[in-house]
């Protein structure tokens, strides 16, 4: 074992912990050949719907060296977002990841600090951090760095803490000590996520038809109308969907997040149906200016509300 690489790897994991990340794993930067085949098949079947950006930069998705020249290591970080409080029972439902401040902004700042601290401790390192901001197959890297397995619902599942995590990636041109890939799949014969998906978007063999997912319709779909074939299938989900995570037995181990930025916005916890119906565009922009809800815009929220009405 290279003493310097071991020392650097320990330093990096210590920095990750200091910055509030819950888990940190390191893998060798290699071509993701098996993932390439799966992604190509998924795209060819049109399971990305209108998310045409998924077709772009295919070579970058499978080769970290295309994103960071001379890439040697892929560092994967998990940040827990499981909330302490839940929404009011009858209100339009919002996925838990969107309760607080936009995670892109929160994690982007952490990644900047992470790379800066690595450089201070280790020396000059070339690297780039990613959080849904570039073509990175973050769940595959998380599995390769030993942080969990990919469940039947397509989410990364950690045996100790479940799946309510954001995944961030830092690719660096620094050789490190690599963690063993997560070799086991603890989903077993359980099919709860498949059985209870409201739109039958979860298929066998760990394939999720993105074009049928409630999150796709309520967030990614930019068209004015949601297909009428989906009417009455949304189970009151207005922004995203957590069904496949809520029913997963491993999420009984979820712990409340310590990240203050993910503290729920009061409106998300307290708004009634009427509050959402009467919300003006001006107030939407004011209340949700730092929220992931701004991604679908005011018009999208109104469209979704109209669609989930009985």
Last residue of a domain, one of 172, 207, 232: 172
Note whether 31 and 160 are same-domain residues. yes
Annotated active-site residue 102? The verdict is: no
Give the span between the Cα atoms of 22 and 280, in whole angstroms: 38
Domain count along the chain: 2
Q: Considering the domain boundaries, does residue 234 fall inside one? A: yes
Q: Using the 8-state DSSP alphabet, how is residue 181 labeled?
A: P
Contact (Cβ atoms closer than 8 angstroms) between residue 172 and residue 75:
yes
Note whether 123 and 272 are same-domain residues. no
pLDDT at 90: 87
Note whether 298 and 196 are same-domain residues. yes
Contact (Cβ atoms closer than 8 angstroms) between residue 55 and residue 48:
yes
Summarised one tens digit per residue, pLDDT across range 86-132 is 998 889 999 999 999 999 999 999 999 999 999 999 999 999 999 97
Residue 193 CA: distances (Å) to CA of 37, 161, 203, 308: 24, 17, 10, 21
pLDDT at 136: 66
Q: Considering the domain boundaries, does residue 118 fall inside one? A: yes
Give the span between the Cα atoms of 199 and 156, in whole angstroms: 21
Summarised one tens digit per residue, pLDDT across range 46-94 is 655 555 555 555 566 678 888 899 999 999 999 999 999 999 888 999 9
List, in sequence order, every residue forming a beta bridge with 156; answer none if it has no partner.
150
Contact (Cβ atoms closer than 8 angstroms) between residue 228 and residue 222:
no
Note whether 196 and 124 are same-domain residues. no
Note whether 144 and 234 are same-domain residues. no
Note whether 152 and 93 are same-domain residues. yes
Q: Considering the domain boundaries, does residue 214 fall inside one? A: yes
Note whether 86 and 152 are same-domain residues. yes
pLDDT at 9: 97
Q: Considering the domain boundaries, does residue 180 fall inside one? A: no
Note whether 221 and 146 are same-domain residues. no
Give residue for tokens 């063993």.
180
Domain span including residue 43: 3-172
pLDDT at 3: 87
Q: Considering the domain boundaries, does residue 181 fall inside one? A: no
Exactly one of 63, 132, 173, 275 is catalytic; which is it?
A: 132
Note whether 132 and 242 are same-domain residues. no
Q: Quick one: tokens of 221?
A: 């779909």
For residue 307, what is the enclosing H or E element?
helix 297-308
**Count of residues for the chain?**
310
Give me the residues of the chain with pLDDT under 50, please.
none
Q: Considering the domain boundaries, does residue 88 fall inside one? A: yes
Give the span between the Cα atoms of 203 and 51, in whole angstroms: 19
pLDDT at 89: 83
Helix runs in 45-179, H state only: 58-62, 103-122, 138-144
Q: Quick one: tokens of 110?
A: 């952490």
């Amino acid at each position: 074992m290279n003493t310097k690489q071991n020392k650097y790897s320990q330093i990096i994991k210590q920095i990750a912990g200091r910055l509030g990340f819950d888990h940190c794993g390191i893998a060798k930067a290699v071509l993701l050949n098996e993932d390439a085949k799966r992604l190509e098949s998924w795209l060819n079947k049109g399971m990305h719907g209108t998310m045409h950006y998924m077709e772009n930069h295919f070579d970058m998705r499978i080769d970290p060296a295309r994103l960071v020249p001379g890439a040697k290591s892929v560092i994967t970080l998990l940040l827990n977002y499981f909330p302490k409080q839940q929404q009011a029972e009858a209100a339009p439902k919002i996925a838990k990841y969107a309760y607080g401040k936009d995670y892109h902004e929160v994690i982007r700042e952490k990644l900047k600090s992470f790379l800066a601290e690595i450089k201070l401790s280790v020396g000059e390192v070339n690297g780039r951090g990613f959080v849904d901001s570039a073509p990175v197959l973050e769940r595959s890297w998380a599995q390769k760095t030993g942080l969990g397995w990919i469940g039947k619902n397509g989410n990364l599942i950690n045996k100790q803490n479940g799946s309510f995590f954001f995944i961030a990636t830092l690719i660096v041109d620094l050789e490190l000590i690599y963690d063993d890939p997560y070799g086991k799949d603890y989903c077993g014969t359980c099919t709860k996520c498949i059985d209870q998906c409201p739109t039958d978007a979860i298929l066998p063999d760990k394939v999720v038809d993105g074009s049928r997912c409630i999150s796709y319709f309520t967030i990614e779909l930019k068209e004015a109308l949601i297909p009428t074939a989906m009417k009455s299938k949304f189970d009151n989900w207005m922004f995203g969907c957590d069904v496949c995570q809520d029913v997963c037995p491993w999420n009984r181990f979820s712990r409340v997040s310590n990240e203050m930025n993910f503290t729920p916005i009061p409106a998300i916890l307290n708004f009634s149906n009427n509050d959402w119906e009467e919300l003006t565009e001006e107030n939407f922009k004011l209340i949700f200016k730092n929220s992931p809800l701004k991604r679908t815009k005011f018009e999208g929220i109104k469209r979704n509300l109209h669609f989930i009405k009985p």
